[in-house]
Amino acid sequence: MSFNPQRIVITGVGLTAPNGNTLSEFRRNLLDGVGGIEKREIRYMGELLAGVCHYDALKYQTKKEIRVGTRAGSISIYCAREAVADSGIDFAGLPKDRAGIYIGTTEHGNVETENEVYAISKFGYDTKFWSHYHNPRTVANNPAGEVSLNLGVTGPAYTIGAACAAGNMGLIHAAQMLRLGEVDFAICGGVSESIHTFGIFAGFKSQNALASHPDPLKASRPFDKARNGIVISEGGALYTLERLDDAVARGAKIYGEIAGYCVNSDASDYVLPNPGRQAECVRRALASAGLRPRDIHIVNTHATATPLGDIQECQALGGVFTDCPDTHINNTKSFIGHCMGAAGALELAGNLPSFDDLTVHPTINVDHLDPQCALPGLVLNEPKKAARVDTILNNSFGMLGINSTLIVKRFAP
């Protein structure tokens, strides 16, 4: 049987989230309503709420490697190794110059710079105490570079800065490189170490966009009338992508097929989203996949639980998904907070098992639905069985107006 070389499929998944360190654990907690937000001490700011990952960093790294490297690099290595193992590929026999690493991230280097400045403040700001590892820790390509070093990959390895659209962008870019024939095997997705920098907490607090709640597990409340902001989280989800013919030739398990995507920009504001451009991004992704809105069975929203942002995304989606009785809409941030550069990749992972179990995980913590967010098809507080799940549409939007929409469909020969 001959396949179109343009068809790209997902063959492996590796992740760490605030509520799970494997896809099966993550999925089980999403269906059981188990979140992962906790209290965390943030330098200069005291105790705040955050999504913290508790993976085994020493599973694939030595203590020295962890000390020399970065948190983002460590998360990336863990997720990449897990994805490669899950793919079942003979990685030792794979030509390493034909493998590529494409990791989306929100920002990189802030953690290390803040830590170094804080450290030398204890010594009168004498720069002789500044770490000689600082430069390789803070260069933008660090997370992908650390994976390259750990896995011995000699093909292209770099990060993609796309704010909170970065997780989707990692997959989109990898699919494009496979289609161009630049690589034969791609490790891709998104990671975030954001909870380790006080600057991002301070920034959201100054915007009155930082969530608060007496119960940490209730703090992330997309679509709820009482939502009051973002819960900042760390995490990562990396995938292995291959051309379909290569995956079939080696008998790989296939999670799904990349069906379509779009990336565009609002060009209208530093922070505020533009629902018109978001809707345009969704429509163009549908067109690239050759699908109609009613052909989509799950829409995973970007909604971060900011009062205005949720409404604007719902406006965008409401203008696209009209008369779509089989379309279900959910949100993963209600469980894990906003994992920034990892958000889109983790949220896709949480929905991929729906192809097998025909169950849509809910948005939790919605006690009083905001009427301006009351989209038809919202799945709230309890999982919902679906008659069919053949397509998943994943939205991720970011600051400075970058939007990404990725569509994955059930694999069919």
Identify whether residues 334 and 216 lie together within a single domain: no
In a domain, 49, yes or no: yes
Identify whether residues 229 and 279 lie together within a single domain: no
**Is residue 2 pLDDT above 70, yes or no?**
no
Q: Which of 53, 79, 164, 324 is catalytic?
A: 164
Q: What is the pLDDT of residues 359-412, one digit of tens each?
A: 999 999 999 999 999 999 999 999 999 999 999 999 999 999 999 999 999 999
Q: What is the pLDDT of residues 25-53, one digit of tens each?
A: 999 999 999 999 999 999 999 999 999 99
Measured CA angle at 162 (ends 52, 370), to 5 deg: 65
In a domain, 3, yes or no: no
Identify whether residues 329 and 364 lie together within a single domain: yes
Final residue belonging to a domain, choices 249, 270, 286: 249
In a domain, 1, yes or no: no
- 132 tagged catalytic: no
Q: What is the pLDDT of residues 129-149, one digit of tens each?
A: 999 999 999 999 999 999 999
Q: Which of 173, 338, 339, 361 is catalytic?
A: 338
**287 lies in which domain range?**
260-409
- 173 tagged catalytic: no
Identify whether residues 243 and 286 lie together within a single domain: no
Identify whether residues 43 and 68 lie together within a single domain: yes
3-state secondary structure 280-345: HHHHHHHHHHCCCHHHCCEEECCCCCCHHHHHHHHHHHHHHCCCCCCCEEECCHHHHCECHHHHHH
Helix or strand or coil: residue 106?
coil
| Residue 165: band (very low, low, confident or very high) from pLDDT cuts 50, 70, 90 | very high
In terms of DSSP bridges, do strands 256-265 and 402-409 run parallel, antiparallel, or are they unpaired?
antiparallel
Identify whether residues 23 and 78 lie together within a single domain: yes
Helix or strand or coil: residue 201?
helix
Reading the block at residue 94, the tokens are 């794979």
Final residue belonging to a domain, choices 215, 249, 283: 249
Cβ burial, residue 149 (10 Å; 0-12/13-18/19+): middle
- Domain of residue 101, CATH code: 3.40.47.10
**Is residue 3 pLDDT above 60, yes or no?**
no
Identify whether residues 229 and 340 lie together within a single domain: no
- Whole-prediction pTM value? 0.97
In a domain, 243, yes or no: yes
Identify whether residues 289 and 309 lie together within a single domain: yes
Residue 409 backbone dihedrals phi, psi, to 5 degrees: -120, 160
The dihedral of CA 182, 186, 189, 192: what is its sign? negative
Q: Which of 98, 99, 377, 39 is nearest to 238 (CA)?
A: 99
The number of folded domains in the chain is 2
| Residue 1: band (very low, low, confident or very high) from pLDDT cuts 50, 70, 90 | very low
Residue 30 backbone dihedrals phi, psi, to 5 degrees: -65, -40
In a domain, 272, yes or no: yes
**In sequence order, what are the beta bridge partners of 27?**
none
Distance of CA 316 to the CA centre of its chain: 21
Q: What is the pLDDT of residues 10-23, one digit of tens each?
A: 999 999 999 999 99
The confidence score (pLDDT) of residue 269 equals 95
Which residues neighbour 173 within 8 Å (Cβ) at sequence distance 6 or greater? 102, 160, 188
In a domain, 254, yes or no: no
Q: Which of 302, 328, 339, 373 is catalytic?
A: 302
Final residue belonging to a domain, choices 197, 215, 249: 249
Identify whether residues 269 and 127 lie together within a single domain: no
Identify whether residues 147 and 175 lie together within a single domain: yes
Identify whether residues 243 and 265 lie together within a single domain: no
Q: What is the pLDDT of residues 305-359, one digit of tens each?
A: 999 999 999 999 999 999 999 999 999 999 999 999 999 999 999 999 999 999 9
In 93-138, the DSSP E strands lie at 99-105
Identify whether residues 381 and 237 lie together within a single domain: no
The confidence score (pLDDT) of residue 256 equals 98
**Is residue 83 pLDDT above 80, yes or no?**
yes
Q: What is the pLDDT of residues 94-118, one digit of tens each?
A: 999 999 999 999 989 999 999 999 9
In a domain, 255, yes or no: no
- 339 tagged catalytic: no
Gap between the Cα atoms of 12 and 316, Å rounded: 32
In a domain, 214, yes or no: yes
